[in-house]
Structures are given as C-alpha cells and as structure tokens.
Amino acid sequence: MQILIACAKIMTGNTPNNIQFATEPTFQLQANKNALQLMAYSVEELQGMLHVNRDITIENWKRFQNFQTKENLCPAVFCYDGMVFQKLAPESFSDEELLYANDHLLISSFLYGLLRPLDMINRYRLEGNIVLPDNAGKSMFDYWKPILTDWFIEKIKADDGILINLASDEMRNLFNWKRVQKEVTIITPDFKVEKNGKLKTIVIYTKMCRGAMTRYILKNKITDINYLKYFEYEEFKLCNEDDWLFALK
C-alpha cells in the first residue's frame, strides 16, 4: 500500500548524521522552474503572497535566493517539523525502515508536487492558491493536477492498488481526485474526540493520529488493510469500521 501525507509549513528539521541514502525528487525540474519564478519577487511582494510576518518572509526569500545551493539540501521527511512529522518520528527509523518508507510514503508539496521521504530538497514556504506568472494563470493546485494525477495513480497501482490517505483534505486538489477514486482503493481514516456526547474533529489530535498511523504502517510494514483495525494511539481506537473512524471516548 501507498500512504499520502501532507507537507508542513514549518521546516526547521535537520538531517541526522548517519543518513546513508538519498534520492532526487521526481518532479525536480518543475520545482526548479517554480523556485526560479519565486526568486524574482521582492521581500514585500513575497510577503503579500504568503500572508506571513516579515521575519518568516525574509527567511523564505533567502531560501529561494539560495535554492540551487546543494549545501542546503535535506531529506524531505527530516525537513518538515509539523505535528504529523513529529509523531512519525523518522529519526527513530533504521536504514532498512527508511528505505521501506521511501517506497511506500508520499508527501504532497506545493513546490515539489510529490516527494518521497529521502528525496533531497531545499526548505521553502508556498501555498496552494498562489499563482506564478509562468503557470498560465493557474494556482499551484491546478498547476500540479495534470502533472501528478497519472503518475500518482500508476504509483499506487504498481504497489497493490491501495492508498491510505492521511493528508489534509485540501491536498486532494493537487489531483483529479475523482479519477484517483475510480482507479484505486482509497482509505481515509478519520479521527474524532467525543465531547458532550458528540464526536468532533480537533485538528491537533487529527494531525497527531495521522503521524502515528503513518509510523504504525511503516514500522510494521503493513500490507493488509485489516491490520489498520488494530491501530491505537493515546486511547484512539476504531469505533466505526465502515467509515474507518477512530475515536477517543
């Protein structure tokens, strides 16, 4: 099975000294073209696009200016520092487990399209609704859709035809999701917390569970979806098998 998770906005992670393997992003050419366009913006223009404070803007302006510098490259799974990646905890993976993850885990990215864990990348910040001048008036979502969809479907089919979708809902817009749904089996686990007798989505818990489930699948090299039923994290347990709903009650 293949697993899809979303990139994180925070990219403060560092590469462990003992990493022996590295791969090149599948869509490096497109990333280079996008970064080249982003290099042309001033700090003020970039801030208006990203809607972040000036310090974050300057940090990312510098990142784009130095995008071609190989000294700044980092394996993707170690670059991101959001909650999903904290709970995935790739630094605890053995070399064998990292290589397995590289074959079974995909990370969506507005700059790089799709990444494997050991793909060497530069740190960046980008949003899906941004329109770059050379992209025919398309947002990053619409730019990537025709590029990624066929590749994504074939990647899943080349495995066992099953996708465990642990990415945020907006990442579906990077693909022709209706086509993906028709051609492969998609399982999208949901994580909710019971409050006042009702099940509610609490974003931080959802992110934690997504990272923990990704870790569970990769560490145990799960290939049978039935074993997902046994996933537990911080008292989250499967409570509705039909909807793959895991709840904390």
pLDDT number for residue 28: 97
Three-class DSSP category at 123: coil
pLDDT number for residue 195: 87
Report how far residue 12's alpha carbon sits from residue 42's, in angstroms, rounded to the nearest whole number. 23
Distance of CA 235 to the CA centre of its chain: 25
Mean pLDDT in runs of 10 for the chain (249 residues)? 96 76 95 96 96 96 92 92 96 94 98 97 95 95 98 97 97 97 97 90 96 98 94 92 89
pLDDT number for residue 72: 84
pLDDT number for residue 19: 77
Report how far residue 89's alpha carbon sits from residue 95's, in angstroms, rounded to the nearest whole number. 14
- Nearest Cα neighbor of 219 from 93, 78, 82, 87 is 93
Structure tokens at 129: 């609704």
pLDDT number for residue 14: 74
pLDDT number for residue 17: 67
- 175 in Cβ contact with 197 (< 8 Å): no
pLDDT number for residue 70: 83
Distance of CA 121 to the CA centre of its chain: 13
User: What's the predicted TM-score (pTM) here?
Assistant: 0.95
- Nearest Cα neighbor of 91 from 81, 113, 128, 154 is 81
Count CB neighbours of 85 within 10 A: 26
pLDDT number for residue 204: 96
Q: Between the CA of residue 80 and those of 71, 107, 115, 196, what are the distances in Å?
A: 17, 10, 12, 35
pLDDT number for residue 134: 94
Report how far residue 109's alpha carbon sits from residue 115's, in angstroms, rounded to the nearest whole number. 7
pLDDT number for residue 227: 93
